[in-house]
Chains A and B, each alone.
Chain A
Amino acid sequence: MTKQQKHRVLASAVLILTLGVAQNVNAMHIMEGYLPGGFCIAWGVICLPFLWMGFRSIRKSLNENRRVLPLLAMAGAFIFVISSLKIPSVTGSCSHMTGTGLGALLFGPGAVSILGLIVLLFQAILLAHGGLTTLGANVFSMAVAGPFVSYGIYRLCQKGGVNKRLAVFLAAAFGDLFTYCVTAFQLAIAHHSDVSVGGAFAKFLAVFAPTQIPLAVIEGILTVLIIAALETYARPELRAAGFLKEER
């Protein structure tokens, strides 16, 4: 390798690193128009059963108690606000939580799928994060896959008798990581120009890793802090939120 080539490699490495850490980091919404039409429709269809389930569960709890409606709306607005506030991050860039893991723990994954749909639509229209055609893909990764994994991990940890704070941390962090993996997978199967899907998947994972892995850890820590504070100050409210899911 000549000296010039070494310089080029160095320059591209610096470029990648600066792009990775110094910019506004969102929770990886797939941009408007980034997926081909077929994939947009396919991901939308995949989401439908989950959304239908969420819709049914919300309607059932509404029929039992109408007071749930404003509560659900507040939960949705809470997820939106939490996910659009800047959180402290290690590198000085500004980044945002997904907030859906926290939502899934508090309100149950079924309700979060519908709330997530609405929140993602608002994020697309009001904040230009994500888009209308990629709504299906984003709903699947952020409002279905992530929350279900978070909730599943939390329940498993509870059954296994793991420390509650550790369980919350693991649930939120792995939910976030899973969202990021699903998004990378969605990008990879849509765009693999001269490599296999697997290779493209690895590349997308690698490119977004420097921003997403610290974010997942921070999200986990923050979720633990929030749940701990809620348990100290807001037992009745927690019970009201858990009431949406009847268990817990």
Chain B
Amino acid sequence: MISIDRLCYNSNLRYVNAGEKFAFAVLSLCACVLSRSIPVSCFVLVIMGILSVWKGGIPFSCYMRYMGVPLVFLLLSSLAIIINFSGEPLDLFAFSVGGIYITGSRESLFYALNLILTALASVSCLYFLSFHTPMPDILSVLRRLRCPKLILELMLLIYRFIFVLFEVAHAIRVSQNSRLGNRNYRTSMKSFGAMASALLIRAMKKSDALYNAMEARCYNGDIRVLDENFPPRGKEIILIVVFEIILYGLVVIEML
């Protein structure tokens, strides 16, 4: 259902301290967004790729497939940046259509390329976090960062319910298919509407049942769960600090 979730439970880096991974990914992400330069992006892209595939044990083909996820968005918005309509032709290319030109400049092409590279590097940082850190660990990091308790509780429950609802939705889809739903466009619209409303009704019933169950177990407005804690290791911290110093050094050099 959610393949990233399955990947992160099988990752070799799963038992590394979550705070370390979080700090590493977020600091590198900030470096990419701050510098927006080609060398920094390439550096981050390569390092994150190597760490995820070689250290984390994510299959290479799988990693490449995920790097392709943002491609449609990137291509479309780059088109909007590169292509221009104006009265006079710019230096990269120009086609005249009627009285105006469909044209583009060299500068905007480089701008778009830089943007694509920065975005891919940032996505690789995000993937480093999400491919190796299960959601409960991320929540425990957020708890330590003093995120409001109400939001954390909502996140914990929502994370749990997502899988419950996916299961229900899948079962409904199977039974609809076996009863000649989803055959053509009209029936599939109808099936989707019916599924969504049945899903909401089920969700409400389940939430009621959950509340009763929690109440029966002395729920008093506070959900407490044990987190698995993996202590940070000195060697890893040193490596992360060294990497971040090099990275931010590069950022500073690029910005000067």
Query: Does A5 touch B at the CB level, under 8 Å?
Result: yes
What's the Cα separation between A35 and B157 when bound, in Å?
31
Query: Does B48 touch A at the CB level, under 8 Å?
Result: no
Q: Which residues of A contact B108 (CB under 8 A)?
A: 193-194
- Knowing A74-B161, A207-B79, the reply to whether A33 touches B197 (Cβ < 8 A) is no
Judge whether A70 and B211 touch: CB under 8 Å: yes
Query: Does A237 touch B at the CB level, under 8 Å?
Result: yes
Min CB distance A200 to B, Å, is 7
What's the Cα separation between A36 and B35 when bound, in Å?
9
Q: Which residues of B contact A75 (CB under 8 A)?
A: 203
Q: Which residues of A contact B157 (CB under 8 A)?
A: 69-70, 73, 76-77
Pick from B54-62, B147-155, B240-248 the stretch touching chain A. Answer: B147-155
Q: Which residues of B contact A234 (CB under 8 A)?
A: 197, 200-201, 204
Q: Which residues of B contact A85 (CB under 8 A)?
A: 169, 192
Q: Which residues of B contact A221 (CB under 8 A)?
A: 189
Which of A67, A118, A203 contacts B80 (CB under 8 A)? Answer: A203
Q: Which residues of B contact A23 (CB under 8 A)?
A: 72
- Knowing A77-B162, A193-B107, A241-B204, the reply to whether A32 touches B126 (Cβ < 8 A) is yes
What's the Cα separation between A150 and B86 when bound, in Å?
36
Judge whether A230 and B122 touch: CB under 8 Å: no
Query: Does B100 touch A at the CB level, under 8 Å?
Result: no
Query: Does B18 touch A at the CB level, under 8 Å?
Result: no
Judge whether A34 and B4 touch: CB under 8 Å: no
Interface residues of B in 116-150 (CB under 8 A from A): 118-123, 125-127, 129-130, 135, 138, 148, 150
Query: Does B230 touch A at the CB level, under 8 Å?
Result: no
Judge whether B192 and A87 touch: CB under 8 Å: yes
Min CB distance A99 to B, Å, is 9
Q: Which residues of B contact A166 (CB under 8 A)?
A: none
Instruction: Type the 1/0 row for A176-217, where 1 means its CB is closer than 8 Å to any CB of B.
Output: 000000000001000101110001100110111000000000
Which of B111, B158, B198 contacts A80 (CB under 8 A)? Answer: B158
Which of B95, B119, B210 contacts A33 (CB under 8 A)? Answer: B119
Min CB distance B18 to A, Å, is 13
Which partner residue on chain A sits nearest B197 by CB separation? A229
Tally A-B pairs: CB < 8 A: 254
Q: Is the interface of B mostly helix, strand, loop or mixed?
A: helix
Q: Which residues of A contact B214 (CB under 8 A)?
A: 70
Q: Which residues of B contact A90 (CB under 8 A)?
A: 185
Which partner residue on chain B sits nearest A227 by CB separation? B197
What's the Cα separation between A226 and B203 when bound, in Å?
14
Query: Does B43 touch A at the CB level, under 8 Å?
Result: no
Judge whether A118 and B189 touch: CB under 8 Å: no
Interface residues of B in 80-113 (CB under 8 A from A): 80-81, 83-86, 90, 95-97, 102, 105, 107-108, 111-112
Judge whether A33 and B84 touch: CB under 8 Å: no
The 10 closest A-B pairs by CB, nearest first: A33-B122, A225-B193, A73-B157, A77-B161, A229-B197, A88-B188, A70-B207, A74-B207, A76-B158, A74-B203
What are 19 sample pairs from A and B whose C-beta atoms fall under 8 A apart?
Answer: A19-B72, A26-B73, A33-B118, A34-B119, A62-B150, A66-B221, A70-B210, A74-B165, A88-B188, A106-B200, A114-B151, A126-B2, A128-B130, A132-B126, A133-B122, A187-B80, A193-B108, A204-B77, A204-B80
Binding site for B on A (CB under 8 A): 1, 5, 8-9, 16, 19-20, 23-26, 28-37, 40, 55, 58-59, 62, 66-67, 69-78, 80-82, 85, 87-88, 90, 102, 106, 114-115, 117-119, 121-122, 124-129, 131-133, 187, 191, 193-195, 199-200, 203-204, 206-208, 218, 221-222, 225-226, 228-230, 233-234, 237, 240-241
